[in-house]
Every structure is written in C-alpha cells, then in structure tokens.
Amino acid sequence: MLKITHDALVLIGPAGQLPAPVHDAILPKLAMLYEGECEGSGPIAAALKFGYSKQRYFQLRHAFEKSGTLALQNQKRGPKTNYRRTDQVIQQVVRHRFLDPDASPAVIGQKLRQTGQPISTRSVERVIGQFGLQKKTPPLPARSPARRDPHPAQQAVPKTPARRSRKPPTRRPSAPGR
C-alpha cells in the first residue's frame, strides 16, 4: 500500500513502512504506475493524483514495460548534438575568416546562408571566439615617462578663449513675398 502526502511518499506494508526521499525521481513515477495498474484506480486518476497528464502516464508505462525502472529516471533535456554548428560549418567559418580576416561575423554568416547553411550571426561569433580568431584591437599608446613634466605646478597656464560680444545677432531683413 502507498501513502502519499504533499511532501513525501511512504511505502507501507504489513510489517512496517519505508519512507522515500523527497528528491527521488523514480519512485513517484513507479508509485503512479503501481496505483494505476495494480490498485485499480485507473490511469487517469493515478496520473492526476501524481500531477502528470494521461499522455505522460502512458509514455512512462511504455518506457517501464520496455526498459524497467531505469527508464523512469529523468533524462537530459534539450538538444543532444550541435545541429547548427556542425563540423562542416565550423570549417567553413574558419576558412572564410582566413580568406578575409577583415570580414565581420555578419558577412561570414551571410556567405554561409547563401550557400544553404542555416547559421546565425551569433553562432559565427561563437565559432570565431572558440578558435581565437577575433580581430586584434590595437592597444592604446602608452605615455612615456620622458614626456611628463616632473613639476606639474610650473606648467604654463592654458590660454582662455576669446570672449564673444554680448550683442544679440543681427537679423537680415526678410525678402519681399516671404
């Protein structure tokens, strides 16, 4: 028999009970399948009780029948491979960068898209960064110590700019007909 509370799952038998860890990912799914198949509550009621949809219940049941309890373990989500930045696309980005070092990532991306490679400008930037093919920015010139005046108080006072007159600007008479 299973006892389910809002924060724990406890397996209860005639000789005692066994609490399951809260962070266990497999046991709640197994308990849902047990309730739906063995306790007679049915798939829909068991799925709702455990917070799953009917579709997910049957997916888990199929996986359990096929591979056992290890199939109930959470799998890594998201893409498993680089389907945009394939080896061929990476080679083409590096090739275009060596052929024209001044080409921007947007230009390289546009050239690749024209040849049928679906790649974004950001992916081109990632490839360029991955291989260290960024353009080098020239360093700022360092001030040499010989140019500095050792006595800054004795420097010449800068000239003040000439003052303008305070008269308002004169207006030209408007032309007739305007």
Residues in the chain: 178
Among the listed residues 29, 23, 25, 43, the one whose alpha carbon sits nearest the alpha carbon of residue 2: 29
pLDDT of residue 15: 85
pLDDT in tens, 50-100: 899 999 999 999 999 999 999 999 988 888 888 889 999 999 999 999 999
Total-model pTM: 0.49
Give the pLDDT score at 167. 67
pLDDT, one tens digit per residue, over 80-94 is 888 889 999 999 999
The answer to whether 69 touches 100, Cβ cutoff 8 Å, is: no
CB atoms within 10 A of CB 46: 22
SS3 146: coil
Residue 178 in this model has a pLDDT that exceeds 60: no
Question: Is the per-residue pLDDT at 174 higher than 80?
Answer: no
CA 74 – CA 90 distance, rounded (Å): 32
DSSP code per residue over 67-131: H-GGGGSPPPPS-SS-SSS-HHHHHHHHHHHHH-TT--HHHHHHHHHHTT----HHHHHHHHHHT
Question: What pLDDT, on the 0 to 100 scale, is given for residue 152?
Answer: 58
pLDDT tens string 42-52: 999 999 988 99
What's the pLDDT at 116?
A: 94
pLDDT in tens, 114-163: 999 999 999 999 999 999 988 767 777 777 665 555 565 555 555 666 66
Residue 12: φ, ψ to 5°: -115, 130
CA–CA separation, 63 and 54 (whole Å): 14
Q: Tokens 């924060």 label which residue?
A: 7
pLDDT of res. 27: 87
**Confidence band of 1 (pLDDT split at 50, 70, 90):** low
User: Rounded CA gap, 140 and 134, in Å?
Assistant: 18
pLDDT at 11: 78
Q: Which residues pair with 20 in a beta bridge?
A: 9
The whole-number pLDDT of residue 24 equals 86
